[in-house]
Every structure is written in structure tokens, then in C-alpha cells.
Amino acid sequence: GNSVTQMEGPVTLSEEAFLTINCTYTATGYPSLFWYVQYPGEGLQLLLKATKADDKGSNKGFEATYRKETTSFHLEKGSVQVSDSAVYFCALTTNAGNMLTFGGGTRLMVKP
């Protein structure tokens, strides 16, 4: 079956620090990979995605590269802001029906 493993949080950083949130996966078939973000009091929203190996998804300064050889999709940002404080979810799907498998989520807290 499919599974997604994320580093446990919370991750606490100072503003302008470098961020990495690790994500690894197991999948039957060829997955598409996603990062979703959940800001306080809101639902999840798509942050970025990659659909094939070596693709890099990027949005709002965040990046993640689809690494098939290491089955990973780590999220990075060069300089975090207080407004990036949220819960980040790594996810994958291997079918056309949008049946997403989510990781457990990683809470990021950025201090001024």
C-alpha cells in the first residue's frame, strides 16, 4: 500500500532561517507528490506538487524535488517568515481518482 512519513514537529525556527521538512514515501505504482499547508483555523490548501521523477515543485519561496531513487520529497525554503507558521502535510496519489495519502503533518513555528 501507500504511505507517507514526515518528520515530527514542532519545528521552531527564527525568522530568515533555512527550512527543511523531510518527507519519504512508499507507493505501489508511480506516485504524484504534493505538499499541502494548513494555516491556523483554516483548511488545507495545495502548496506545490511534482508528478514525475526529478521534477521540482515551487511556490511562495518553497521548493521540493521528486527524488525517485531515495523515495523522498523534502520541503525547503531559504528564508522563513512568521507568516509561514502553519502545519505542512506531504501527500501522494497513485491513481486518477485523487485518493490522496497524507503524512502526519509537521507543525512549523517561526519566531520574530
Residue ranges that bind other proteins, judged by CB under 8 A: 4, 30, 32, 34, 36, 41-46, 49, 51-52, 89, 91, 93, 95-100, 102-105
How many whole angstroms separate alpha carbon 97 and alpha carbon 26?
18
* Minimal distance, residue 29 CB to other proteins, in Å: 8
- Closest CB to other proteins among 9 and 67? 9
How many whole angstroms separate alpha carbon 96 and alpha carbon 106?
26
The residues pairing with 24 across neighbouring beta strands, listed in sequence order, are 5, 72
* Minimal distance, residue 14 CB to other proteins, in Å: 26
Q: Is the dihedral of CA 84, 50, 106, 22 positive or negative?
A: negative
How many whole angstroms separate alpha carbon 33 and alpha carbon 25?
9
- Closest CB to other proteins among 40 and 112? 40
- Closest CB to other proteins among 9 and 17? 9
